[in-house]
Amino acid sequence: MKIKLTLFLFTLSLLLSPGAYADYKIENVSGNIYRFIDDRHRSVFAVTSEGIILTDPLNPKAALWLKQELHKRFDQPVRYIIYSHNHSDHIYGAEVFDDPEITVISHHLAQQDIIRTRTRTRIPDSTFSENMTIKLGDTEVELRYHGPNDGRGSISMLFKPEKVLFVVDWIVIGRMPWQRLWSYDIRGMINSTEEVLNLDFDHFVGGHADTGNKADVERYLTYLQQLENAVIDGIHKGLTLKEIQAQVDLPEYAHLPFYKQWLHLNVAGVYERLMEESGMSWRPDIP
């Protein structure tokens, strides 16, 4: 028992040491909307006169730091936690916010997956299928499901009146999409991004990389469309994956971080989805 207690106290001391939180930041996005940064991951929260609306807690260590900072800086209770989708690198740590008055919200597919796979975080108390609006103080958050795009039950969150849009994983600003596009539904990402561009937002915050605006989201969509079209053209020409990777070049995006390292991986991800999910590998009209 003494050994276990010693290990627990040692671990706690590491978590609470200043150096352990070197990668954590809170930045103002607009008005009462803030971005929380944990190294490569991001979430947002709204501070209102009636409490705080928090999105993805990210992980237990980050959530512990955030809980302490929210109390010190704003002295308002967290009233809602909204999960962007089911992936553990974004929704772990909600158990740190153990107040029973906090309502945890997600899309019903995310809740289903959290329960089915025994994800170690708080199970959502409330779910929705198409859309849902959360109101607290002067802030409204419009939650929308746009169909498959990344993971299970991935949604957009529009904070009003500040016009801040928060989307995790399936829109990335200021960086190439993640490597081989694991877990992505490419066509679903395109469809979902087209839908959110019809929303009225001025600021964009993603679960990774940079903040931006509607024009940045439009440029991201154009990249996905050009990438998918280039791979489809290569498949129709009877080219192998390696030949398509050697042929595809999208120089207008060469300034993006990881362009040289990840473009061929992005091509591979789109190729695999088209050959498997779209059935292009067994179509008689393709060489």
What pLDDT, in 10s, does the model give residues 240-280?
Answer: 999 999 999 999 999 999 999 999 999 999 999 999 989 98
Supply the range of the domain harboring residue 103. 16-213
Distances (CA, A) of 216 to 2, 86, 258, 262: 55, 26, 17, 20
pLDDT digits (tens, 9 = 90+) for 122-148: 999 999 999 999 999 999 999 999 999
Of the chain, the percentage scoring pLDDT greater than 70 comes to 92
The answer on pLDDT for 101 being more than 90 is yes
Q: What is the CB neighbour count within 10 angstroms for residue 13?
A: 10
Q: How many domains is the chain partitioned into structurally?
A: 1
- CB-CB contact of 134 with 124 (8 Å): no
Mean pLDDT, residues 274-287: 90
Q: Is residue 59 part of a domain?
A: yes
Greatest C-alpha distance within the chain: 70
Record the pTM: 0.90
Q: Is residue 160 part of a domain?
A: yes
- CB-CB contact of 115 with 104 (8 Å): no
For 46, the enclosing helix (H) or strand (E) is strand 41-48
Regarding predicted confidence, which is higher, 125 or 286? 125
Planar angle of CA 37, 173, 250, nearest 5 degrees: 145
Query: Residue 27 — φ and ψ, nearest 5°?
Result: -125, 145
pLDDT digits (tens, 9 = 90+) for 193-239: 999 999 999 999 999 999 999 999 999 999 999 999 999 999 999 99
Q: Is residue 222 part of a domain?
A: no
Q: Is residue 131 part of a domain?
A: yes
Q: Is residue 250 part of a domain?
A: no
Q: Is residue 118 part of a domain?
A: yes
Q: Is residue 242 part of a domain?
A: no
| Domain CATH number, residue 61 | 3.60.15.10
pLDDT digits (tens, 9 = 90+) for 152-188: 999 999 999 999 999 999 999 999 999 999 889 999 9
Please give the torsion angle defined by the CA atoms of residues 20, 173, 86 and 131, in that order, rounded to the nearest 10 degrees: 130
Q: Is residue 2 part of a domain?
A: no
For the chain, the residue count is: 287
Using the structure block, give the residue that is written with the tokens 């795009």.
149
Q: At a CB cut-off of 8 Å and minimum separation 6, what does 190 contact?
A: 221, 224, 225, 228
The pLDDT of residue 287: 87
Strand-by-strand arrangement of the 211-212 sheet: 131-136, 139-145, 155-160, 164-167, 203-206, 211-212
